Homo-oligomer: A and B are copies of this chain.
Amino acid sequence: MKSRVRICMVGAGRVGKNHSRAITRHVPDGEIVALVDPMESVRNETAREFGIENQYDSLEKALEEVEFDAVVITTPTPTHLPLTELSAEHGKQVFLEKPMALNLQECDQIMAVVDKNGVLLQIGFMRRFDPEFVMAAERIEGGEIGEPMMIKSRTHGPGLPPPWARDLRTSNGMLAEVNSHDWDTVRWLMGSNYQRVYTEVANFKGPANNVDTPNFYDNVLVNMKFESGGLGLISGVCPCGYGYDARVEVIGEKGIMQIGSLEGQNVVVCTDRDHGLVTPIVRTWPQRFAWAYIYELEHFIQCVQTETAPRASGTDGRWAVAGVLAGTKSFLEERPVYLKEILV
């Protein structure tokens, strides 16, 4: 029997909590032996909720004081490179949340350091482990809808992102922090890289939310052309208020495929015929992708146990970052941008 993989969870915020819950409650082969977060109150709350004994305010301290096999990094994007470097240099296997990094140089450095130290790297593209997305990808790959001609992928999230994640000076904004998954999904399901993108953005709720960050947007549509000749669309709305919406549609030469639904639970009620039938909507990403989070962490743990390369690689993470950079450049310069301008 394989031994359990000891994990140091780096980041105790929303994503850190989500991953801690998945591992603690539903992935017996993983064991969280340490929790790292500079913010004490957040750290305490997460540690208490999931019974994690060892807490540290830095990864350095955790590395000194406790033994573990792998890190799960869920901290803000600007920290991804230094935390990965530190982990890799200590021989720890790395699970790294999306977006991989702020730019392609950082992506390259991340890939270089994990290669050099011979550790594994998995990017947190959990949709690649969602049973519906996986089934869809297999069926497209199997030719069921023919050559993909057009894809539409959306991520609309209910709440306003934190300040650092909506400011182009500290992150790459919504296209990166919310829509990273879409950049990965469209490439995956189309089986082709994007070649050219054009982006329109809008800012509807910023003023009411007292957001005065330059270039803030809460609505985005990215139109794209793939190397295959296919067309793509990414749409983002955040905060959208109405729920968490991650549906995808693919049109192939032979037919249409729709992935996902807005319906969050099959309990449908009508108590007023003037109001209508009411169905719970998907409210949050932990709800929508509950199995996907369990399966991506199972996968990472199994890869560590069996020393095999994980799916959702650094290359996938790097392409998503390239898309984000092209998409952002497009709306700033009000013109279509070629990926070759970015991938220099």
Contacts and interface: CB of A to CB of B under 8 A. Distances in A.
A251 B266 contact: no
A336 to B, nearest CB: 6
A200 B253 CA distance: 17
Contacts of A145: 269, 271
Contact of A219 (B135, B146, B150, B269): B150
A198 B330 CA distance: 12
Contacts of A275: 278
A258 interface: yes
Interface in A256-312: 256-281, 283, 294
Nearest to A247: B266
A94 interface: no
A61 interface: no
Contact of A198 (B28, B198, B237, B264): B198
Contacts of A158: 273
A163 to B, nearest CB: 21
A223 interface: yes
A270 B243 contact: yes
B271 A266 contact: no
Nearest to A2: B51
A144 interface: yes
Nearest to A229: B202
A240 B256 contact: yes
A2 to B, nearest CB: 9
A131 interface: yes
Interface residues of A, number: 84
A231 interface: yes
Given A158-B273, A255-B272, A198 B223 contact: yes
Interface string A220-246: 111111000111110101001111010
B156 A251 contact: yes
Given A271-B242, A272-B255, A277-B278, A132 B266 contact: yes
A169 interface: no
A204 B223 contact: no
Interface string A147-167: 101101000101000000000
Contacts of A341: none
Contact of A28 (B28, B146, B231): B28
Given A132-B267, A334-B336, A273 B235 contact: no
Contact of A256 (B204, B269, B274, B334): B269
A242 B276 CA distance: 8
Nearest to A136: B267
Contacts of A313: none
20 contacts: A1-B51, A144-B271, A145-B269, A150-B202, A150-B237, A152-B235, A201-B231, A202-B231, A219-B231, A241-B254, A241-B272, A242-B254, A242-B255, A242-B256, A243-B273, A256-B262, A258-B269, A260-B266, A276-B280, A277-B278
